[in-house]
Amino acid sequence: MKNKFLSNIFLTFVWVALTGDFSFENYVFGFFLSFHILWLITMGRNRSKYFIIVPKLILLLVFFLYELVKANLEVAYEVITPKLNMTPGIIMVPLDVQSNMGITLLANMISLTPGTLSIDVSNDRKVLFVHAMYIKDRDQFIYSIKNGFERRILEITK
């Protein structure tokens, strides 16, 4: 998998050098083009985990950006309205993710989303304590984390 990633990066830089356009968009386009070239080259042979993880990682990034924008709008609305609509609380979110990398990624994504903050992980690493500004329904909040960030992280870290 490491070799495929390095090949993808190398081909991306080759693309950028050949086109002479050093813009961010050209790097992204070159990365996707290189990814598809590598996928076509190895299509008939053994399937590499790289070609499964990269699309899921991109989907996780898109989902995170969507949640980030949504949370920013909620917090901005809270700031500009005179009435407080906050229902803050600390929720214990049971964890299915077990790896240190997965727990760290989940906690960081939660903390980077405005209105939520990861506080602690239990000693047995089965529960994540999360402070949130808006908790109308405890079960719905837990479901949104488990079915949102955690499910996508589990798909990548398996």
Mean pLDDT per 10-residue section of the chain, whose length is 158 residues: 86 94 95 92 79 92 95 90 87 95 95 94 96 92 95 91
Residue located via tokens 């990682």 = 57
The full DSSP string for 146-158 is IIIIIHHHHHHH-
Within 8 A by CB and 6+ apart from 27, the residues are 12, 16
Residue 90 structure tokens: 């600390």
Q: Does an H or E element contain 14, and which?
A: helix 2-19
Task: Give residue limits of the domains in the chain.
Answer: 1-42, 49-157
Question: Pairing mode, if any, of strands 116-121 and 127-132?
Answer: antiparallel
Contact present, 112 and 65 (Cβ < 8 Å): no
What is the Cα 28 distance to its own chain's centre? 18
Q: What is the pLDDT of residue 44?
A: 67
Measured in degrees and rounded to the nearest 5, phi and psi for residue 57 equal -65, -40
pLDDT at 78: 86
CB neighbours (10 Å) of residue 62? 11
Indicate yes or no: pTM above 0.85: no
pLDDT of residue 32: 93
Q: Which residues pair with 91 in a beta bridge?
A: 130
**Structural contact between residues 145 and 130, judged by C-beta atoms closer than 8 angstroms:** yes
